[in-house]
A and B are shown apart, each in its own frame.
Chain A
Amino acid sequence: MAGCSGGRYVIQDRNWQPYDLEPAAFTRHLYSCQINGSAGIRKYSFSGLLLAKEMEDGSKRVVFQNEIGFTFFDFEWDTAGMFRVVQIQEQMNKEPLIKTLRKDFEVLFRVNSSAAQINGDRTLVRTRLQKGNAVYETGKDDKKNIYILDEKERKVVSFIMAAGAPLSGLPASLTITHHKANFGIRLKTIPSND
């Protein structure tokens, strides 16, 4: 999942116009999830279930737990976008990891997005991040991916989704790759039991 730079993301059409980018619309989505990374020379790997849910009060929760039911982490964004760690297992309670996960989910859910812009042929939507941009791309085959670019428009993180994933909701499957760090997340929808 790791490793070399994601390469430069060349944006041909720069005819950017303001765009109203809504947060991702979902009520409940359950994924099987795998998180792989390394801290120094130590590698780690967690697998389990990731539940993304919008609560009755409009806040959003992401809970990652193993298949037997132990919680790895539980994150919350309130309706104002304020982030909170509700619960986290000791091994994952590291600031860089929490920061990375928080940023990935905020880009995916489009929480705390700054003012968005859309390009001329309406295939790219971008929002400014603290450093660089998040770019939401709709490809020719309707494939929707997301990229986090640095200030030099190089891919730092790629969110590659299953074909046909809706821009408004959450994708059926997704691979998040951090190109400069040995870190990645794989998500695959678990069908509802209902």
Chain B
Amino acid sequence: MKQLISLLAFVTLTFTAWSQGGYTPVPDINGVKKQFADKMAHTQSLESSFTQTKQMKLLKENIVSNGRFYYKKDNKVRIDYQSPYNYLVILNNGQMSITDNYGKKTTMNTRNSKSLQSINKVMVDCMSGNIFTNSDFRISVAKNSKEYHIEMIPNTSDLKSLFKKIDVYFNLDNLYINKMVITELNGDITDMKYTNVKANTGLHDQLFKTK
């Protein structure tokens, strides 16, 4: 009897969590994986505008920034914060460069750090739709009438020490990323919305130069 109650509670809680936003779990993840794989086979690059909102719960503060986002197959990412501050992150084949608001540029090899490697992989996988094969996370998939919701909970101690989970939302029609939400250990949330997403616009490699 106790086991039945526990099972009912677990199922209820699961459905309650997904039902915020009207999401229902997807039983056939392999089917979703194939959808993404087919789509990404024809996607060489993506670019979009983004709005990032950092919500600091205890401080009751939102910090909003805007910029441009670029991805080029297989592992090139450029995140260009443009307002209200300048900040540029480029990931390219295991190298990461950061140029801060003072113009200072730092380049590092992500292969020297497990955490950096994992973050690099998450960014690239989210853009390329390969997140289903990322073993650093426990992944659940749900959907509503407009989008897929992928919940990613860290599996490794390095990532567990950085954040609680990542939620990624993909447009159901074109499978482009709509939003990424990172929940920190203290409950703060960084929410990145992508708008005006365009594929295969012929991005130049120059955009992703780290040196």
Name A's B-contacting residues (CB within 8 A): 28, 30, 32, 34, 45, 47, 49, 51, 53, 55, 61, 63, 65, 67-71, 87, 90, 186, 188, 190-191, 193
Contact = CB atoms under 8 A, between A and B. Distances in A.
Interface stretch (B30-38, B100-108, B128-136): B100-108
Contact of A63 (B59, B89, B98): B59
26 contacts: A28-B61, A30-B63, A32-B100, A32-B101, A32-B102, A34-B104, A45-B106, A47-B98, A47-B100, A47-B101, A51-B61, A51-B63, A53-B61, A61-B59, A63-B56, A65-B54, A67-B65, A68-B52, A68-B79, A68-B89, A69-B188, A71-B186, A87-B186, A188-B101, A190-B84, A193-B84
A32 B85 contact: yes
B102 A70 contact: no
B81 to A, nearest CB: 6
A157 B81 CA distance: 33
B182 interface: yes
Nearest to B56: A63
Interface string B77-100: 001010011010100000000101
A34 B84 CA distance: 16
Interface in B23-56: 52, 54, 56
A61 B61 CA distance: 12
Given A32-B101, A68-B89, A70-B184, 19 more contacts: A34-B102, A45-B104, A47-B101, A47-B102, A49-B63, A51-B56, A55-B59, A63-B56, A67-B65, A67-B87, A67-B100, A69-B52, A69-B54, A69-B182, A69-B184, A71-B188, A186-B102, A190-B84, A191-B84
Nearest to A87: B186
A34 B182 CA distance: 24
Q: How large, as a class, is the contact surface on chain B? A: 20 to 34
Interface of B: 52, 54, 56, 59, 61, 63-65, 79, 81, 84-85, 87, 89, 98, 100-102, 104, 106, 161-163, 182, 184, 186, 188, 190
A190 B86 CA distance: 10
Contacts of B190: 68-69
Contacts of A49: 63, 85
B199 to A, nearest CB: 24
A65 B184 CA distance: 12
Nearest to B55: A69
A37 to B, nearest CB: 14
A61 B85 CA distance: 22
Contacts of A34: 100-102, 104
A87 B56 CA distance: 13
A69 B98 CA distance: 14
A179 B102 CA distance: 21
Given A34-B102, A47-B104, A193-B64, A53 B59 contact: yes
B101 A71 contact: no
A190 B174 CA distance: 37
Q: Top 5 A-B pairs ranked by shortest CB distance?
A: A69-B190, A47-B100, A32-B101, A67-B87, A69-B54
Contacts of A67: 65, 81, 85, 87, 100-101
Contacts of A28: 61
Contacts of B188: 69, 71
Contacts of B184: 69-71
A34 B102 CA distance: 8
Nearest to B100: A47
